[in-house]
Structure formats: C-alpha cells, structure tokens
Amino acid sequence: MRKVLLIMALSVTLAGTGARANPFFETWDTPFGVPPFDRITIADFQPAFMQGMADQKAEVEAIAEDPDPATFANTIEALDASGSLLRRVGAVFGCLNGTMTDDRMQAVARDLAPLRSKHRDEILLNGKLFARVDAVYRQRDDLNLDREQQRLLEETWKRFVRGGAKLSDQDKEKLKELNQELSLLSLKFGENVLKETNRFEYVIEDETELDGLPDGVIAAAAETAAERGHQGRWVFTIQKPSLIPFLQYSTDRQARRRMLTAYAQKGNHGDELDNNDILARMVVLRTERAHLLGFDSHAAYVLDDNMAKTPDAVYKLLDEVWWPALKKAKAEAAELQTMIDQEGGRFQLEPWDWWYYAEKLKKQQYDLDESMLRPYFELESVRAGLFETVHRLYGLTFAPRPDLPVWHPDVKAYEVKDRDGSTVAIWYSDYFPRASKRGGAWMDALRKEYHDGDRRVIPVIYNVGNFTKPTAGEPSLLSVDEVKTMFHEFGHALHGMLSDCRYQSLSGTSVARDFVELPSQVMENWALEPEVLDLYARHYKTGARIPQELVARIKASGHFNQGFETAEYVAASYLDMDWHTLTDTTPRVPADFEKTSLERIGLIPQIIVRYRSPYFQHIFSGGYSAGYYSYLWAEVLDADAFAAFKETGDIFDPATAQAFRENILERGGGEDPMVLYKRFRGREPSITPLLERRGLAD
C-alpha cells in the first residue's frame, strides 16, 4: 500500500511541475466523449485508479454522514451516480487488458486487484451507509416510486446484503480477505491461460504434412510462421481459427492428436502456468465465502440472484437436455466409427478424430463442408448483412467513423443512428486474434447508457472476437460458427446500445446472468435464415449470391452433429455446477474431481468436455461461476422468443421486433427478467422450441 501511495504522490507532483497530463483527469474533447486511446498510456492507469477510488470514497462518506434523513434521492440515486472517474478508468482498463495486454498491464492489474476489491468491500461493508440504504428500503411501499426506481432500490439493498453488510465486524474482515485473495487468483488464472495459448506452436517443415488442409488454412499458417520467425514453414496454434480447421481437414491423425491434446492440456502441465492449485483454492474460498454469507454453497449464493434461483432448478434443466443429447451423441459416434471401419481404419474413434470424420460425414450426407461455405462468408459482407438485419428489425443504421481514436489498427468505429436520425450509440469492433488478446469473443461497454437529467447519455459499446484473419491472398473468410458468433456478440451489443435506463447500475447488460444471454442468442437465429443469407452471403471473388441449393443444404444439415455440440457444452455446465455445489472446504484434486463429475453423467470418451477445469475461464476468471448453464437457460428463452417472429410468418415482423426492443433491449435490469419476458411474449417460455431446434425432441 505504501508503494502505491508513493506512486500516487509522485503523479500529483509531476502534474504540478508541467509533466504530461493524465488524460483520465481531463474532460475528453473527442467526438461523443469517447476515450482518447491515442493519448492513454499504461502509466496513466495506476494514478487514475487511485484517484478514482479516493473520489468515490469521499462521495460515499458524504452520503453516509449526511445529517438529513435518508431518502431515495440523497442515498440510493447518489450512490448510483458516485464513482464516475473510477468507472471511466475501469472501463478503459478492462478493454485494453483484454485486447492489448502485456506484462506491464498484467502487473498493474495484479497490483490493483486487491485494492479494488478492498475498495468495493469498504463501500458494501460501511455500517452507516447500509443503515441509510436499509432505512429507505424499509419505507419502499410508501415512497411512490416507479418501476425502475423500485428496482434500483431493491437491487442496491440486495447488493449490500449479499456483499456482507449484515455480518459481524469480525466476519466482515474475513470476507475482505477472501475477496482480495479471490481477485488475485482469478487474474492469475486468466493470465496463465493466455500465456499457455500463446506459447504453443506446431511447426511444419515438410509440405506433405499439410495434406487435406484447404489453401486458405495453409496460407494463414505460412503467415503465422513468418510472424513467429519460421520463414518458409507453416505454424499452427491452439487459437480456434487455427485449431478447428486443422482438426477438420488434416489427414495426419497423429498431428490432429497433438493439436487437440495441446489445447486440452492448457494449464495442466505442473509448471509455472499450471492452474490446478489456483482453481482448487478458488473453489475452497468461494465455499467459505458462501458459508459466511449464509448459503450452503457458492452455487446457492450465485443462483439466489439469478432467474434459476436454486441449484436443483439448474440440474433439472441440464437433465432435460442431457439425456436426449447423450443418446444422439452416441448415435453420432457410431456413425463416425462406421465410416472409419468402411475406410479400412483399424482404430477406435477418439476425440481428435471427431471433427475430421464429422466433416467428411457432413460432406457425404449433405454434400456440404466448411470449405464450400467460407468463400460466401467474407467478414465485411457478413458485417454488412448483420447491419441490414438490425436495420430491418430496429431501424438502426451504422456510419463508419474513422476519425474516432481506436486501440489497435484492426479496430473499426461506427456511429449508430435510430430511425429519426438521432445518435443511439458508438460501436467498436475488434475481430482478429493477436498475442495480446485473450481468447473467445465478448461485448463490453466503455461507457454505459444512463440519463443525466432529461438527457440520455449515449453508450459506447465494443465487440471483440478471434475470427479467421485475412491473408495476403484473401480476405477474412468466416466459418459458420464464426458467423453465428458475430451475430451472437452483436446481440449483446444491441442490449447495451438500445438501453434506455436512467441508472447506470441497471442499464444495458446489468441483468441476471442467466438472462443476459437472451439478446445475444436470439440474434443467432437470424444468421442462417434464407432471407438473411440473401442479404450478405456473396462469393468474395465473383460476387455471386450463395446458391439456393447450398442454402437448402445448410438448412437440411441444421441438426447435424447436435449431439456432440450439445453434449460437450452441457457436460461443461455440469462440471461448473459440481464444482460450485460443494458444501465443504476440503481441497479437491481437479483431475480426479473432473473425472468423477463426467463419469457420473456418462460422457462418452470420444468427446472432451468443452472446457476442462484448468482452462475453464468462464467460471474461474470470467464471471460465470455457477453460471455456465445460463447459455442453455437463455436458449430456452431465445428459441421461444424467435418462435414469436416465426409465428407471424415474417422474421422481420415490425410489431414483434418493436415489442422485443421495448420490453427486453431497452429495459436493461429495470425490472424482474421474467416479468419483462412475459410482457414481451405474453406467457412464460416453453422448452419445446429448444429441443426441436437441436433435433432432440422425440
């Protein structure tokens, strides 16, 4: 702490002697007040965080010590508005640490993690402050609050209680220690996964070892080799755009085994990047914290604030999908084994064979494979189709803004306008992998939407992906999964961009974890609809539209491999729940625990769980602990919601789109999510559309 205070003091001294000003301490004169990425340096973050925490601490103390009786305005609204500098620096740091990280950024994150955790705890554990919050809460039925105000009051009170406000002083100190250690372990877990991913490379020197791989995949591997100092060779990595095509097309079975094994063993080598001790410790700490707060398990604590409410409800949903999915996966495995046998293979199907033979079987059954589709899915065309889809649904238009500062040359910025020409939001995309970016795809906000008096402050939203990069010979040509991911993450972006809430803590994606995936997953439904494919699926060389017979084959193959895809995902959801329904604090050996978990549900050996524990970032460094099931929970909602469009006979039906916008996208966390859903749909959702979509219905 003394070191941090010295740094802060030094920054103040330098500022006073004419040194370069910290941009976080200035009003941003950029268009729309977006972050001036061209002026922000790593050195700016630590002093800005420290000042931001100091500012909010002073604001919170003023609220707590206010001699006037507690009211909704002077306590609840004042709390929501506090911490503007901290919110601003935290949003920019989160963006850059996820997309442009290096050892220096990670060091800043590690230094600040316990301080930020301590700062949050000191607010939530402030006895005088909670007394005022509680006083307002106890008057809630007499305050004539509207729906959003009621929700803000309820959520604020709940956040304090769930944050330990009712604990004894001794237990409050214990909670602070648990939270600080967890914050550091979570950071370390994610750093290790990134470093593991970056350090693996499969270098090929003999061209014959490229047999079966498409030209575009080979060209990308050659460029990766040149970037990594292996000129004249080919390098494959365990980044998904490199790994998946290799598994689909390489005829070298041992090479496929090497690649998949490298991916599946991330964080599991017993070296400095091993995550087993970290995750085992995190599970113990989470269980201790749950007990401290009056819950049997971490899952019980998390789910109490979600739509699911209880672990039993989650397991019930998983069971409803798992058993038909497992049955289908076993049938798929038998089909693939038959193909192997017919080709004269003298081996049993293994996980590194599944992608390869599934691609061959898809070609055989539907005359369809990934290499046939990619030429029609050029990234810029897909993006244009996505924009047109959203325009037809919600009336939005997207104007490129190359004048806005960005954090990397790959990033593109857009001004988003509504039907009436008003600016709704600013949106950035950052779509290609690089060593400084963590894996996966996500959405976040550089500034959340809120109201300043009668003025709606527009949000600044961004999407990140790790899609197939362009090469010297061809543009970025996406896989079907990458197309669906682009639509998915843009659904999250719409949730942030179209938000129309007064309060930042309720706006955009500030909703229950198992509701937040509804806007994203529902957008996936449009991606491969024939009417939407007609908007964007053009051959990147000829400009020809995707042939209708190819569209028909895509539709016909919609249930292909769904046993595999559903089983690997649901198995990971069970694993997450099993880790977090533990009720005792005995440390577990992750490999043994994982084996028992997957054997209990009967996962077949030909399928590897989508995320093994040592690299399961969603639950150990990504905020989805006891929540990975939420994609499935939300899929029940999204399949039912898209059925509302289908029932009209028009997937762009204006009335249905407007109802979804007004009741879901604009409302954020302003009301209970099931209330919002029922207002849109007129009833609770049914699981039947989900089972039918995945081909799992009887």
Name the 3-class secondary structure at 235: strand
Nearest of 433, 447, 505, 484 to residue 224 by alpha carbon: 433
Q: Give me the sign of the Cα torsion angle 119, 120, 123, 124.
A: negative
Instruction: Return d(Cα 640, Cα 525) in angstroms, integer.
Output: 11
DSSP 540-599: TTT-PBPPHHHHHHHHHTTTTTHHHHHHHHHHHHHHHHHHHT--S-----HHHHHHHHHH
* R_g of the chain, CA atoms, integer Å: 26
Count of CB atoms situated within 10 Å of the CB of 420 = 7
Asked if 534 and 545 touch (Cβ cutoff 8 Å), the reply is yes
489 annotated active-site: yes
Nearest of 186, 201, 191 to residue 439 by alpha carbon: 191
User: Both tokens of residue 537?
Assistant: 């699926």
CA atoms within 13 A on the CB side of 247: 22
Name the 3-class secondary structure at 313: helix
DSSP 143-185: S---HHHHHHHHHHHHHHHHTTTTS-HHHHHHHHHHHHHHHHH
Nearest of 41, 32, 145 to residue 100 by alpha carbon: 41
Asked if 401 and 32 touch (Cβ cutoff 8 Å), the reply is no
Measured torsion, CA atoms of residues 583, 586, 590, 593, in degrees rounded to the nearest 10: -60
Name the 3-class secondary structure at 686: coil
The DSSP symbol for 72 reads I
Nearest of 502, 397, 395 to residue 455 by alpha carbon: 502
Judge residue 388's burial from the number of C-beta atoms within 10 Å of its C-beta, 0-12 exposed, 13-18 middle, 19 or more buried: middle
Instruction: Return d(Cα 308, Cα 315) in angstroms, integer.
Output: 10
Measured torsion, CA atoms of residues 181, 285, 510, 73, in degrees rounded to the nearest 10: -70
Residue 64: CB partners within 8 Å, gap ≥ 6?
A: 126, 128, 129, 132
Catalytic residue among 489, 524, 565, 666: 489
Instruction: Return d(Cα 222, Cα 341) in angstroms, integer.
Output: 34
- Catalogue the active-site residues: 489
